[in-house]
Amino acid sequence: MKSTAHNQEVAVIGAYSTKYEARSSKEAYEIIGEVASGVLKTVDKGISPEEIDLIIVSNYSDSFGNVLHTAPLVAEHIGNLGATGFRVENACASGGTAVYLAWKLLSSGLSRNALVVGFEKMSSQGFTSKVNEILMRTAGPEEYRVGAPFMALYALIAQEYMQRYGATEEDLALVAVKNHENATRNPLAQLQKKITVEDVLKSPYIAKPLKLFDASPLSDGAVALLLSSTPRRYTDTPVYIRGISLKHDHPSVHKRSDMAALEAARLAAEEAYRMSGLTARDMDLFEVHDAFTIAEIILYEMLGLAARGEGYKLVREGVTSFSGSHPVNPSGGLKAKGHPIGATGVGMVAEVYWQLRGEAGARQVNGAEVGLVENHGGTGGTSVVIILAR
């Protein structure tokens, strides 16, 4: 990446989200249309469809939504077939990848205004084992072939981490409790209900040490963002991308040098911090990929909030709670806000956009000026880190 190639500042100028739900009454193409139209109306000074020259759609699997070739569908829906569009997929990091590519194309001057749409309709497959099969397409071929579910792969990570550093099942439960508590303040969240540590500990083991309540739910939902390289034309309070990075690791857990790390996230954070000139301590809030509770604890360490092996102490001490010094997942996170895969990363950026503009309602982090998004795919084969600031 040549520094000279990125010469335009890029900012988010609009965001729109459906509520995340266990089962939407709408088809995938309808929720796509809803957020694509909806986001245009959120721009403070207005934007016309003709000003949008780039459309990037984020979606995980067409086996969920039964729809492909969605970029021209979005272009048609907003009434501008002249925009250039395509869909991207990078497993659960598809949304972060879409924002990353929008930033690349805008910051280099190749495009001016980008509409990013993320969506997933996971309820389409019902409550069947087919859902697990579709999810496992993102894992390494060996993991897919033996039929390992995601819970088992994250259980390997959790076992390794807990044995090495002394974290307990209660620590994992505290992450779930915190994020459920946060979701009670978020009208967009799927699981707006408090739970207790005892609720988590009593929930059935799926793959020891992980229990049902350590996992994020299956979700339907869609989110749209507008990004611009001339943001002040459209709003007086844009939210700038100050640092951004996409990194990879081995898709299969067993191939990694440190099974209890999320190395792609560490590398992506390192690069994003360097770009922004900021550190973890400068962040007013974090939205991170807590598909399973253990991931959030390890991410504290990868993102530089805690030293290696000490992440679980942050949740014990309340540092990452809503009223703590470094709130993590004030939205409720994947755990309680929900995880409509293709929408997830886009929704994290939307959340930080609202927080930094002071528009997050009951879940507003007071005086938030800088926030970080971490969105990863599979068990960490891809990670996107984005630092946003007013």
For the bound state, the minimum distance from the C-beta of residue 96 to its own copies, rounded and expressed in Å, comes to 10
Any contact of residue 255 with its own copies (CB under 8 A)?
A: yes
Any contact of residue 381 with its own copies (CB under 8 A)?
A: yes
If the CB atoms of residues 73 and 303 are measured against its own copies, the closer one turns out to be 73
Site string for its own copies, 350-369 (x = CB under 8 A): --------------------
Residues with active-site annotation: 92, 339
If the CB atoms of residues 109 and 187 are measured against its own copies, the closer one turns out to be 109
The token duo for 101 is 């590519």
Any contact of residue 378 with its own copies (CB under 8 A)?
A: yes
Any contact of residue 109 with its own copies (CB under 8 A)?
A: yes
Q: Is residue 70 helix, strand or coil?
A: helix
For the bound state, the minimum distance from the C-beta of residue 180 to its own copies, rounded and expressed in Å, comes to 28
Task: Note whether 221 and 343 are within 8 A (CB).
Answer: yes
Site string for its own copies, 60-89 (x = CB under 8 A): xxxx--xxxx-xxx-xx----xxxxxxxxx
If the CB atoms of residues 148 and 283 are measured against its own copies, the closer one turns out to be 148
Q: Which residues contact 273 (CB under 8 A, 6 or more apart)?
A: 243, 279, 280, 304, 387
Which residues pair with residue 301 across a beta bridge? Answer: none
Any contact of residue 1 with its own copies (CB under 8 A)?
A: yes
Question: Among 98-106, 118-126, 275-283, 330-338, which window interacts with its own copies (CB under 8 A)?
Answer: 98-106
DSSP class of residue 109 equals: T
Any contact of residue 130 with its own copies (CB under 8 A)?
A: no
Question: Which one among 26, 132, 144, 259 touches its own copies, defined by CB under 8 A?
Answer: 144
For the bound state, the minimum distance from the C-beta of residue 2 to its own copies, rounded and expressed in Å, comes to 5
Task: Note whether 215 and 357 are within 8 A (CB).
Answer: no
Site string for its own copies, 26-65 (x = CB under 8 A): -x-x-----------------------x------xxxx--
Question: Which one among 246, 348, 352, 360 touches its own copies, defined by CB under 8 A?
Answer: 246
Q: Which residues contact 58 (CB under 8 A, 6 or more apart)?
A: 87, 88, 89, 94, 95, 97, 98, 116, 117, 118, 119, 342, 343, 345, 346
Q: For 58, how many CA atoms within 13 A lie in the half-sphere containing its CB? A: 35
Task: Note whether 280 and 273 are within 8 A (CB).
Answer: yes
Which residues pair with residue 222 across a beta bridge? Answer: 119
For the bound state, the minimum distance from the C-beta of residue 84 to its own copies, rounded and expressed in Å, comes to 5
Any contact of residue 227 with its own copies (CB under 8 A)?
A: no
Which residues pair with residue 11 across a beta bridge? Answer: 228, 240
**Angle made by CA atoms 174, 373, 302, in degrees to the nearest 5:** 65
Nearest Cα neighbor of 303 from 279, 274, 335, 276 is 279
For the bound state, the minimum distance from the C-beta of residue 176 to its own copies, rounded and expressed in Å, comes to 26
**Angle made by CA atoms 120, 98, 187, in degrees to the nearest 5:** 50
Asked if omega into 209 is within 30° of 0 (cis), the reply is: yes
If the CB atoms of residues 46 and 82 are measured against its own copies, the closer one turns out to be 82
For the bound state, the minimum distance from the C-beta of residue 67 to its own copies, rounded and expressed in Å, comes to 5
The token duo for 55 is 């459309």
Any contact of residue 212 with its own copies (CB under 8 A)?
A: no
Interaction site with its own copies (CB under 8 A)? 1-2, 4-6, 27, 29, 53, 60-63, 66-69, 71-73, 75-76, 81-91, 97, 101, 104-105, 108-111, 133-134, 137-141, 144, 246-251, 255, 377-378, 381-382
